[in-house]
C-alpha cells in the first residue's frame, strides 16, 4: 500500500475548540494518534493507558482517550492515542476509518466514503 496523508479536524467530545492536522493514513495502526500536547490543548483527556506494538516489534505505552474527528465532512467519536510531540506523529488508524466509514484506495492514495457497514456473521443468531 502507498503512504499518503489526509486532512483531519480534531476536537473534544463537546465539539469546542478544534484543530486541523495533516495525518498519515495507516491501516496497520488500530487507533489514531496525535501529539499529547495538541489533545491536551483541546481538552481531550486520557481515559486509560494502553500498550502498543510498533512495526519493529518494540512496545510502547501511551494514554488513550476519545475525540471527535472529522474527515471530509464525516464525523464521529474515535479513540485517540496521546503520542509523542511532532507534526509527523499524526496518524489516522483503522478504527477511525471504520467509524467514519472510509475505505482506502491505495492505487490513487485517497480515502473513499462508503455507505455500508460490515457484519462478520450473516446467519441467524
Is 95 domain-assigned?
yes
Of 38, 113, 33, residue with least CA distance to 72: 113
Is 125 domain-assigned?
no
Is 40 domain-assigned?
yes
Is 119 domain-assigned?
no
* Residue range of the domain that includes 66: 5-113
Q: Is 8 exposed, middle or buried (0-12, 13-18, 19+ CB in 10 A)?
A: buried
Whether the CB-CB separation of 18 and 7 falls below 8 Å is answered with: no
- Read off φ and ψ for residue 96, nearest 5 degrees: -60, -45
d(CA 97, CA 48): 22
Number of domains in the chain: 1
Whether the CB-CB separation of 81 and 32 falls below 8 Å is answered with: yes
> Which CATH number characterizes residue 68's domain?
2.40.70.10
How do the pLDDT tens digits run along the chain, 125 residues long?
457 999 999 999 987 889 999 999 998 889 999 999 999 999 999 999 999 988 899 999 999 999 999 999 999 999 999 999 987 789 999 999 999 999 999 889 899 999 876 666 665 65
- Which three cell numbers, joined as nine digits, stand for 22? 495533516
Is 65 domain-assigned?
yes
Is 90 domain-assigned?
yes
Is 123 domain-assigned?
no
Rg (C-alpha) for the chain, rounded Å, is 15
CA 122 to chain centre: 28
Is 96 domain-assigned?
yes
Strand ranges inside 12-109, DSSP E: 18-25, 32-35, 46-53, 59-71, 74-83, 91-92, 102-105
Amino acid at each position: 500500500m502507498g503512504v499518503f496523508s489526509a486532512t483531519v479536524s480534531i476536537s473534544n467530545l463537546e465539539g469546542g475548540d478544534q484543530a486541523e492536522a495533516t495525518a498519515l493514513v495507516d491501516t496497520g495502526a488500530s487507533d489514531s494518534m496525535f501529539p499529547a500536547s495538541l489533545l491536551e490543548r483541546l481538552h481531550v483527556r486520557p481515559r486509560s493507558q494502553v500498550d502498543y506494538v510498533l512495526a519493529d516489534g518494540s512496545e510502547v505505552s501511551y494514554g488513550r482517550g476519545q475525540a471527535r474527528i472529522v474527515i471530509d465532512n464525516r464525523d464521529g467519536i474515535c479513540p485517540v492515542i496521546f503520542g509523542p510531540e511532532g507534526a509527523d506523529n499524526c496518524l489516522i488508524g483503522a478504527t477511525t476509518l471504520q467509524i467514519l466509514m472510509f475505505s482506502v484506495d491505495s492505487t490513487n492514495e485517497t480515502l473513499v466514503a462508503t455507505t455500508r457497514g460490515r457484519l462478520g456473521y450473516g446467519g441467524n443468531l
